[in-house]
Amino acid sequence: MKRWQWQEIIMINRIVFAAGGTGGHIYPAIAIADELVKMNSKVEIKFIGAKGRIEERIIPANGYKLETIEVSGFKRSLNYKNISAAFKIFKALKDSKKILKDFAPELVYGTGGFVSGPVLKAAQSLNIRNIIEEGNFHPGVTVKLVAPKADKVILNFEGTKKLLKRRDNTVVMSYPVRENMKRMPKNDAASFFGLDGNRKILFVFGGSQGAHSINSALMKCFKNLTGSGLQIIWQTGNTDYDTVNSAVSSNKDVKVLKYIDNMAAAYSAGDLALCRSGISTIMELACFGLPAIFVPYPQASENHQEKNARAVSEKNAAEIILDKDLNQKLESSVLRLLSDDNKLKYMGMNISGMADTKAASKIAEMLTEMVNNSKN
């Protein structure tokens, strides 16, 4: 039992989550927020995200208030857009301070990514307790900037500690996933997509925004894959949807979607995933014990997706195809793995060992403990 549980528990009354840009930064924050609501139905929760990004759709749809700031990430190469991004940072910091002063949260929680930077820096300047989460193996620029003055830095990999200058404020915890990420019977899940649960299914997706290189490579071999008896659930993202859907519309073994709201059904239906290797994707796969072929996004900052993928591959829980090798290796790798049930079972067991379905609840408890320690 936690030490503070022997005392009168002081619940969190107001908390801000800085989360946006991609689903991988948004959904973990929602998972924690949901757990805080269970602990205290009167808790006031506010999200801060980036203007014009997908959080403007996702966060209100999940029942939470959102305020947006003008902020964007820096390009890895020399680019005139970096000048604009730098100016936006200063305004974002000012706007973040105003939001925090008006809302007066007890805690500010950032899930990494460019949105978290100005919000957590603002919290630190206002002496508001703050936490930054880094799920990727290699810490991003934002985490490196805010971690030294953060009250807590939550890491998903033990090996990440050695990449940070300050380590005494770090804690290793499993990455939180949404509560609705629960396995369905395969036949029910396959039927949801109009497919046959008694046949093998490849689940292809590129994160919330799709992945053009994966879509392009699969376009060249999907006929051979379905011709061998496989079925495909294919989430394309917006950009490639019309092209892909037009090409496969007559193929009854392929279900094409721009975006999948019911990811639990897709994970449950699949026998193998083909996807990027952001940490949110990895941990959701782990919850379902779904083996994967990872295609790391080559432009990811600090090449963190490849480092994530290799950390999982070393556990014999996934295979890797680099973006540049997709056209050469995709078809043969998919057919080889989906014809080897023992290999799939072994990989599935190994990746499931990375999951902790109670991670969001444990983090919510830790945040509550932080508030109690500061007030007792």
Write a three-state SS string for 137-157. Answer: CCCCHHHHHHHHHCCEEEECC
**What are the structure tokens assigned to 376, written together?**
């007792």
Q: Mind listing the pLDDT tens digit for each residue in 289-310?
A: 999 999 999 988 789 899 999 9
Kindly tell me if the per-residue pLDDT of 147 is higher than 80.
yes
Measure the CA–CA gap between 17 and 7, rounded to whole angstroms.
27
Q: Is residue 333 part of a domain?
A: yes
Label residues 159-185 b or e (16+ Cβ within 10 Å = b): ebeebbeeeebbeebbbbbbeebeebe
Within this chain, do residues 213 and 311 fall inside the same structural domain, yes or no?
yes
* Strands 65-69 and 170-172, sheet pairing: unpaired
Residue 248 domain boundaries: 186-352
Nearest Cα residue to 92 out of 107, 77, 74: 74
Q: Is residue 181 part of a domain?
A: no
Within this chain, do residues 190 and 334 fall inside the same structural domain, yes or no?
yes
CATH number of the domain residue 267 falls in: 3.40.50.2000
CB 154 within 8 A of CB 143: no
DSSP SS3 for 129: strand
CA dihedral 346, 351, 353, 357 (to 10 degrees): -140
Measure the CA–CA gap between 117 and 122, rounded to whole angstroms.
9
Token pair 């007890």 in the structure block, residue? 106
Measure the CA–CA gap between 20 and 49, rounded to whole angstroms.
5
Q: Mind listing the pLDDT tens digit for each residue in 246-284?
A: 999 899 999 999 999 899 999 999 999 999 998 989 999
The burial of 90, by beta-carbon neighbours within 10 Å (0-12 exposed, 13-18 middle, 19 or more buried), is given as exposed
pLDDT bracket for residue 24 (50, 70, 90):
confident
Within this chain, do residues 127 and 204 fall inside the same structural domain, yes or no?
no
Mean predicted confidence (pLDDT) in 195-223: 92
Within this chain, do residues 50 and 161 fall inside the same structural domain, yes or no?
yes
Within this chain, do residues 148 and 254 fall inside the same structural domain, yes or no?
no
Q: Is residue 75 part of a domain?
A: yes
Within this chain, do residues 154 and 213 fall inside the same structural domain, yes or no?
no
Average pLDDT, the chain: 91
Number of folded domains in the chain? 2
Q: What is the pLDDT, as a whole number, of residue 78?
A: 39
Measure the CA–CA gap between 320 and 330, rounded to whole angstroms.
10
CB 134 within 8 A of CB 154: yes
Between helices 81-103 and 116-125, what is the axis angle to 10°? 50
Within this chain, do residues 134 and 229 fall inside the same structural domain, yes or no?
no
Q: How far is CA 115 from CA 157, 210, 211, 245, 299, in A?
A: 22, 21, 22, 33, 19
DSSP SS3 for 175: coil
Mean predicted confidence (pLDDT) in 124-151: 94
Q: Is residue 60 part of a domain?
A: yes
Within this chain, do residues 142 and 240 fall inside the same structural domain, yes or no?
no
DSSP for 207-256, please give it.
Answer: STT--HHHHHHHHTTHHHHHHTT-EEEEE--HHHHHHHHHHHTT-TTEEE
Within this chain, do residues 346 and 362 fall inside the same structural domain, yes or no?
no
Higher pLDDT, residue 15 or 54: 15
Within this chain, do residues 234 and 145 fall inside the same structural domain, yes or no?
no
CB 5 within 8 A of CB 41: no
Q: For residue 68, what is the DSSP state?
A: E
**What are the structure tokens assigned to 235, written together?**
């989430």
Q: What is the pLDDT, as a whole number, of residue 80?
A: 39
Within this chain, do residues 249 and 284 fall inside the same structural domain, yes or no?
yes
Mean predicted confidence (pLDDT) in 5-18: 78
Within this chain, do residues 289 and 342 fall inside the same structural domain, yes or no?
yes
Measure the CA–CA gap between 208 and 30, rounded to whole angstroms.
15
Measure the CA–CA gap between 278 and 121, rounded to whole angstroms.
24
DSSP SS3 for 309: helix
User: Which ranges in the chain belong to alpha helices (H)?
Assistant: 23-39, 55-61, 81-103, 116-125, 141-146, 186-192, 212-219, 222-227, 238-248, 263-269, 279-288, 304-313, 326-338, 341-352, 359-375
DSSP SS3 for 271: coil
Q: What are phi and psi of 78, to 5 degrees?
A: -60, 125
Q: Is residue 324 part of a domain?
A: yes
pLDDT bracket for residue 187 (50, 70, 90):
very high
